[in-house]
Chains A and B, each alone.
Chain A
Amino acid sequence: MKADWRAGILAAIFIVMEGCWLYVFMSLLNSRVAEGRLSVWGLLLVLPLAFAINSLLFRLRWPALARHAVSWLSWAAAVPVLVKIQLFNSLDWLDVAWLLALPEALGQILYTFRPELLILIGSAIIWWLGRRLAIHQIDFAASVGELQFGLAILALTFLLRSWLDVDLAHQVPVSVTFFLFALLGVSVAHTYEGAGWLSGTDRGQWSGLLIVSIGLVVLLGALLVVAVSPEMIAAVLSVIKRIWEFILKVIMFLVSLIPEPEPAELPPGLQMPEMGAPEDSGWLVMPESLRNILRLGWNILVLGSILFALGRLLTQMFDWLRRRLASTAGAEVEPLRGAFRFDLLRLLRGILSKLFGFRLSLRPRQRSGSIVPEVASVRQIYRQLLEWGAAGGHPRQVSQTPDEYSSVLSRLLPEAGLALDSITRHYVSSRYGLLAPAGAELEQLRQRWCELKQNRIKEQARVHCKQEV
């Protein structure tokens, strides 16, 4: 089977996976924001559409800015059409009311969140996901990351649904489908890379392994369908809900232990002025602005705690699964220590950098004060190179040395081999030998990096592959 077909299969699996968790999440929003007026499946059609358009754009030899512009203009054109089809189907296409609905909703964003805005934001996220699928290479790490991320979203959505008393029954088949395709995606990606679970001569038998993997996944899916029922999920969630309510009761009890301030006695002859009873008769009176700030802080704290707990829970679950796999005879276990934390941090960093337009470093702070500036500069350039490689779909594997990573990138970009070699050589001597480059060398290194980052790895790799064929 050719590489393009394999990539196509993986992309199709990813579209279904993402469609499933998006459906569950969007259904919740639809029921709360739009009172179920939207057709979530209709909205999800944006995902394959975005993938198809962006794949097509990616094949064109246009500048990156032009591709960005055309892609997002396509989305902007699709949004009013979606609004018309979803919310104003009864109106004629020539009636301008449906065209004005979106600007009106944007104008009232501070007062109310209308379904038009849900379509706008939801379709933007779905478009971005489709675009990401078209641009980035899908590999084993990506499929595992997608499984973890989808799992987290599903868990969060089910928890919210339980708190909001929204019916869960319709979501179970979609969630099971997500698991099916997630496992299928992991299997296919792993088999495609030809490493790991099966060793020896069996590695090369891609088609056979694919059939076995699909068979196993279908079997597992059948077992899941039999074992998991809406009642079971509801029971588990109700237990979590009760635990949370108990924690809240404990907190309220602790708050009630704080004594209320006693009124000071007035000097003789003075009388209290006549006052109306305050609206808020709480134990602590504070200005409304301060109260709002504290409320916001409390919400952030609670949300952060929930996310942290979820993260820990999922990490433990994956660790447990890996340990169970390790105890199985004949199985090899992929070391994915810290993978979930890494994915989560990467997601947060991506969101923050998109929102605020700067890169927020979430890695441990470097002791840059104790390193000579030239060494720090070389290391900074290399960090940028790592980010560039990762953005091009070829992140450095944790066990790869700088030279090994350089040779991987050089194979993809043969014409940039000299620049890659130079940057890597200087980085290695700075990082492991603490040898600072001279000023002229550093300047030359910066120039090489500027030239190098103009290249796009995936494009070049495709061209290279075509030439080889």
Chain B
Amino acid sequence: MDKIARQGMERGNLDVSAIGQAAAGFLDNVGKVIVGKRDVVELVLVALLCEGHVLIEDVPGTGKTMLAKTTARSLGCSFKRIQFTPDLLPSDVTGIHYFNQKTSEFQFRPGPIMANVVLADEVNRATPRTQSCLLECMQEQQVTVDLETVQLPRPFLVIATQNPIELEGTFSLPEAQLDRFLLRLKLGYPSEDEELAILSRFKQGNPLDSLPSVIASAELRELQKVCRQVYIEASVLSYITSITRATRTHPDISLGASPRASLGLSLASQALAAARGRNYVIPDDVKHVAIPVLAHRLILKTEARLRDRAVEQLVAEILSALPVPVE
């Protein structure tokens, strides 16, 4: 039997139905609290399946923190919240060594970063020094305190929120930090019907209080492993690289997407395909996740900003120009 035919049979044997079921359960569960926004919730699930971090960016009151808390509650994992403020120190995040007078020795007291799901609320309010302490955590799933390196629990997911409107008392996230977020999501305002549904749903109380968890920690780890086996055909891989490479040569972009972005795009496409019940990636998956994966990693040229060009618009233009691998 030839190689490609054998690969096809292997594709057929990879069972992603567990991911499909988990995805449906997660979406329904989050949907009990978050009205509408199923696309955004699906992308949060994609990040979970890739063990990638999510930056939720929008104006106040649109449900950023609620989405993060609902996501954490839906997972049977440990959850910590860090409220980022200008006086927050790196040791407040990572933990410190303190002197235990009883035992007469220094002991490590872990910070709130030692959890499966960490909600970094209003992350741009902390100083760059504190923001940078997340770099090692997010990329290498470990933290170094006083020369001692501690492994973070797995799965490890940072859900950060920030408000793009307020500039006073905030510090923009550095590019290196932004590049470590797999996805940047925007919730946007709800429609009229959705807003009415929110009012009626929250009339009796907060549905988050009684929300059950639907995916256990060990189960999520297994699903993440399966996700990595989702097949990507060679031409689709080339399509992914051509998208990221196009961002590097676009005349309106001064800093294009990094190889980490290519990897993120590939992983997110795999996760989306699996969540939709497929064991192979199609170009639609790549297109669907391209803007959330790439937009926050690109830097516009000044003249493009003056012309009110948005990064999302440029990525959409690139997608509408690049040939999709078809016959």
Using a CB–CB cutoff of 8 Å, the interface residues on chain A facing chain B are 326, 329-330, 332, 335, 363, 370-372, 375, 379, 382-383, 386, 396, 398-404, 428-429, 431-436
- B327, A386: Cβ atoms closer than 8 Å: yes
Q: List 15 other contacts, CB 8 Å, given A372-B8, A399-B324, A401-B287.
A: A370-B3, A371-B4, A372-B5, A375-B8, A383-B327, A398-B323, A402-B283, A403-B284, A428-B282, A431-B326, A431-B327, A433-B280, A433-B282, A434-B5, A435-B11
* Bound CA–CA A301/B164 (angstroms): 64
Identify the closest chain A residue to B246 (Cβ). A335
List residues of B (261-307) whose CB comes within 8 Å of A's CBs. 278-284, 287, 303, 307
Q: Which residue of the partner chain A has the closest CB to B320?
A: A399
A436 to B12, CA, bound (A): 9
Question: What residues of A have a CB within 8 angstroms of the CB of B233 in the complex?
Answer: 431-434
Residue of B nearest to A399 (CB): B320
Task: Tell me whether B324 and A398 are in contact (CB under 8 A).
Answer: yes
**B residues apposed to A, CB below 8 Å:** 2-5, 7-8, 11-12, 231, 233, 236, 251, 278-284, 287, 303, 307, 317, 319-324, 326-327
Are B327's CB and A382's CB within 8 A? yes
Contact check, A399 vs B2: say whether CB atoms are below 8 A apart: no
Closest 7 CB pairs of A and B: A433-B280, A434-B8, A398-B323, A335-B321, A372-B5, A401-B283, A432-B282
- Shortest Cβ distance from A211 into chain B, in angstroms? 24
Question: Which of B11, B284, B320, B326 has the most chain A CB atoms closer than 10 A to its own CB?
Answer: B326
Report the separation of the CA atoms of residues A379 and B4 in the bound assembly, to the nearest whole angstrom: 15
Residues of B within 8 A of A433 (CB): 8, 11, 231, 233, 278-280, 282
Give min CB distance, A102 to chain B, whole Å.
44
Report the Cα distance A401→B327, complex, angstroms.
11
With a cutoff of 8 Å between Cβ atoms, the chain A residues found around residue B3 in the complex are 370
Interface pair A326/B251, CB less than 8 Å apart: yes
Looking at the assembled complex, report how far the CB atom of A361 sits from the nearest CB atom of chain B, in whole angstroms.
11
Q: Chain A residues near B279 (CB, 8 Å)? A: 433
Q: Which residue in B11, B231, B303, B322 is a CB contact (below 8 Å) of A399?
A: B322
Which residue of the partner chain, among A335, A383, A401, A435, contacts B324 with CB atoms under 8 Å?
A: A401
Query: Please, which residue of chain A has its CB at the minimum distance from the CB of B306?
Result: A329
Residues of chain A contacted by B284 (CB below 8 angstroms): 401, 403-404
Contact B324 A400, beta carbon cutoff 8 Å:
yes
A403 to B276, CA, bound (A): 15
Q: List 27 A-B contacts (CB under 8 A).
A: A330-B307, A363-B327, A370-B2, A370-B3, A371-B4, A372-B4, A375-B8, A386-B327, A398-B322, A399-B320, A399-B324, A400-B324, A401-B282, A401-B283, A401-B287, A402-B282, A403-B284, A428-B282, A431-B326, A433-B8, A433-B11, A433-B278, A433-B279, A434-B5, A434-B8, A434-B233, A435-B12
Would B326 and A396 count as touching, CB distance under 8 A?
Answer: yes
Q: Which of B3, B8, B280 is most buried by chain A, counting CB atoms within 10 A of its CB?
A: B8
User: A386-B327, A401-B284 given as contacts; is B4 within 8 A of A434 (CB)?
Assistant: yes
How far is A404 from B11 in the complex, measured between Cα atoms in Å?
Answer: 24
Chain B: CB-nearest residue to A200: B308
Give Cα A412 to B170, complex, Å: 51
- Give min CB distance, A195 to chain B, whole Å: 9
Among B2, B251, B280, B327, point to the contact of A429 (Cβ < 8 A): B280
Considering the complex, give the chain B residue whose CB is closest to the CB of A430: B8
In Å, the complex CA distance between A399 and B322 comes to: 6
Chain A residue at minimum C-beta to C-beta distance from B326: A402
Q: Which residue of A lies closest to B303 (CB)?
A: A329
Are B4 and A432 neighbours in the complex by a CB distance under 8 Å? Answer: no
Nearest Cβ on chain B to A293's Cβ, whole angstroms = 38
In the complex, residue of chain A having the shortest beta-carbon distance to the beta carbon of B3: A370
A434 touches B11 (CB 8 A): yes
In the assembled complex, the Cα of A400 lies from the Cα of B323 at a distance in Å of: 8
In angstroms, Cα B324 to Cα A398, docked, is 6
Bound-state CA distance A382–B279 (Å) is: 21
Q: Provided the pairs A433-B11, A433-B280, A434-B233 are in contact, do residues A399 and B5 lie with their beta carbons within 8 angstroms?
A: no
Closest B residue, CB atoms, query A379: B327
**B12 / chain A contacts, CB cutoff of 8 Å:** 435
**How far is it, in angstroms, between the C-alpha of A335 and the C-alpha of B4 when the chains are bound?**
34
- Among residues of A, the one whose C-beta sits closest to the C-beta of B282 is A432
Contacts of A383 in B (CB 8 A): 327
A237 to B319, CA, bound (A): 42
Taking CB atoms, residues of chain A closer than 8 Å to B324 are 398-401
The answer for the CA separation of A332 and B279 in the assembled complex, in Å, is 38
Residue of A with least CB distance to B307: A330
User: Which of chain A's residues have a CB closer than 8 A to the CB of B281?
Assistant: 432
Cβ contact within 8 Å between A435 and B280: yes
Contact B321 A399 (CB under 8 A): yes
CB <8 Å contact, A399 and B326: no
Point out the residues of chain B lying under 8 angstroms from A404, CB to CB.
Answer: 284
- List the A side residues contacting B251 at CB < 8 Å: 326
User: Which residue from A329, A371, A401 sits with its C-beta under 8 Å from B326?
Assistant: A401
Contacts of B283 in A (CB 8 A): 401-402, 432
In the complex, the answer to whether A432 meets B280 with C-beta atoms within 8 Å is yes
- Measured between C-beta atoms, what is the minimum distance from B38 to chain A in Å? 19
> In the bound complex, what is the Cα–Cα distance between A432 and B8 (angstroms)?
10
- C-alpha gap A434/B12 in the complex (Å): 9
User: Which residues of chain B come closer than 8 Å to A432, judged between CB atoms?
Assistant: 233, 236, 280-283
Residues of A within 8 A of B236 (CB): 432
The answer on a CB contact under 8 Å between B8 and A436 is: yes
